[in-house]
Amino acid sequence: MDRLAGQISASHGRLHPAVEPYARHTIEVGDGHSLYVEECGNPEGRPVLVLHGGPGGGCSPFMRRFFDASHYRVVLFDQRGCGRSRPTAEVQANTTDHLVADIAAIRAQLGVGRWLLFGGSWGATLALAYAEAHPDHVSGLILRGVFLGTQAELDWFYGGGAARFFPDLWAQFQEPIPQAERGDMIGAYHRRLFDDDLGRQARYAQPWLMWENALAGLQAAGLSHAPPEYARAFARLENHYFSNRCFLEEGQLLRNRSRIEHLPAVIVQGRYDMVCPPIGAHSLAQGWPDCDLRLVPASGHALSEPRITAELVAVMDSIRDEDRDRNRKARR
């Protein structure tokens, strides 16, 4: 989950200055897929991998600004089928295992030993899946708006749970679907998003995206619509993953948490997140010795919400300061 809201101006004062990538790569990962990858900041700095939401959200220049460019080597990439990766909206050979393998391929090609993982919503899901598969290649996790890929979370958002708080918006989401099909909204939209008619796909992509985006932020209104090709890729990929329960076994990420409990983690979670309710973050943090759960007041799900933005920047600045203190002591 996580369609990045466009209302980011309120957060600008809390962010680091805008930067441009010092390197861009196209990495062929097989099955006809190529990935767009960019590197920003300090080529000799501490590596951090940014994992965007969705699935299908793609990266944004806004995401580069959570990091002090003098300290971090920031790697961003568009996951299979979205953003500047190709082919667009492709769901063949596109599963969680494929994405985990893609991250491993990027790490190897860029020569990174261990890196921090910075991911929100679906990006948090993918960060956990990758870390549990490759714990030796991870130095820590910074997660936001935790989504564990469970049936309960999908039922909350697409089965009527969130609708109790947003009945008007839920009615708009249901409106294009015949009454007889509304018991399975993921399935109903799947039949239309994967229709052979591209125009029909585009028509149903917009309400799919608008339902999620409208609930993402408390302090920033959701966008009324998105560019058609973006909406189509986002909706198809997200629906594909959710139709397949995120290609995870039920409870897998919590069950395998023992593989990463030696790693430090910070979770930044909006107290009023209606897309990914805080129970997921709380369940993940419980019993994790070095996990710092920060419930942010008066905030929802969106990365662009002012308090969420400020907390994430503070986390990354704190890690930078700790790194610098260690380096100074080591030189004495």
**Residues with catalytic function:** 121, 273, 301
- CB atoms closer than 10 angstroms to residue 162: 21
Sign of CA dihedral 297, 155, 199, 175: negative
What is the DSSP annotation of 273-294? -SSS-THHHHHHHTT-TTEEEE
* Helix, strand or coil, per DSSP, at residue 254: helix
The candidate with the shortest Cα–Cα distance to 243, out of 189, 280, 286, is 189
- The radius of gyration of the chain's CA atoms, rounded to the nearest angstrom, is 19
Q: Whole-angstrom Cα distance, residue 254 to residue 85?
A: 30
What is the DSSP annotation of 190-219? HHHHTSS-HHHHHHHHHHHHHHHHHHH-SS
* Helix, strand or coil, per DSSP, at residue 174: helix
The candidate with the shortest Cα–Cα distance to 308, out of 293, 297, 316, is 297
